Structure 1
Amino acid sequence: MDDAEPPRWLVSRRQRSRAKTLRGNLTDAEQHLWSGLRGHRLCGLSFRRQHPLGPYITDFACLPTKLVIEVDGGQHYEDAGQLKDARRDQFFKERGFTVLRFSNLDVLQNLS
């Protein structure tokens, strides 16, 4: 990892407020994953939860490694959800991020 500054995108107060609200209302799967990521527990990496990046709020982001982790519920497997996810993923990929997606069930039953 280099010492380069993480990307800075303008984020509205409304979006910051929404991210803060989401941090207080994590799903069971997000809470479970956060317990394994917080405090540099995964390879010493620093993750942020419900972190705004551009027009989106990520479930989890590791800015130094440009990694986004998304935890998906059932709505993400419907056609409309998959189209929205594809647009989000493309936005992140265009900015050099890798996006990993896991289902709620996978996180809850197979955290490792």
Structure 2
Amino acid sequence: MSKTHNQRHLEERRKELRKNLTPAEATLWKSLQRKQLKGRKFRRQHSIQNFIVDFYCASEGLIVELDGAVHLDFAQQNYDLERTEILENLGLKVIRFENRLIFEHLSEVLEEIICHFKTTSSSE
């Protein structure tokens, strides 16, 4: 991977985040790990530039972010918008879900993620 991904200075923070997933992240990860979603490999707590994203699928250029209550704050929303713009300018697609949707409508969330896949997999 290029120097844009998984920079060394973020390694410890990524490890810490992976060890301490939020309940919503842990629930979604159970459905994304080991290529369970249409054969796509997802990484959790992956860094791109100086941002650590919740989930990243390199083959699709897709980032999945989960938003808790902190993301309701106006300043946080502005930061999220700027961050999304930077990541999308790298050619990536960012999709966001509220944490509650993971618990209340997981199958719909997974379908929405699939809708953003650009390619078809032979293992589908």
TM over 0.5: yes
Given the alignment of the two structures, is residue 76 of structure 1 paired with residue 60 of structure 2, yes or no?
Answer: no
Given the alignment of the two structures, is residue 29 of structure 1 paired with residue 24 of structure 2, yes or no?
Answer: yes
Given the alignment of the two structures, is residue 90 of structure 1 paired with residue 85 of structure 2, yes or no?
Answer: yes
Aligned residues: 107
In the alignment, what sits opposite 1:14?
9
In the alignment, what sits opposite 2:38?
43
In the alignment, what sits opposite 2:105?
110
Q: TM-score, normalised by structure 2?
A: 0.81
In the alignment, what sits opposite 1:3?
none
Give, in whole Å, the separation in 1 of the partners of 2:6 and 2:61: 18
Specify whether residues 55 and 70 from structure 1 end up closer, same or farther in structure 2 by C-alpha distance, changes over 3 A only.
Answer: same
Deviation at 1:7, TM superposition (A): 4.6
Task: Write 1 or 2 for the structure with the bigger share of helix.
Answer: 2
Deviation at 1:94, TM superposition (A): 0.2
Given the alignment of the two structures, is residue 61 of structure 1 paired with residue 56 of structure 2, yes or no?
Answer: yes
Segments ≥4 residues shifted beyond 6 Å: none
Give, in whole Å, the separation in 2 of the partners of 1:24 and 1:102: 21
Give, in whole Å, the separation in 2 of the partners of 1:15 and 1:108: 29
Give ranges in structure 1 of 5+ residues lacking alignment: 1-5
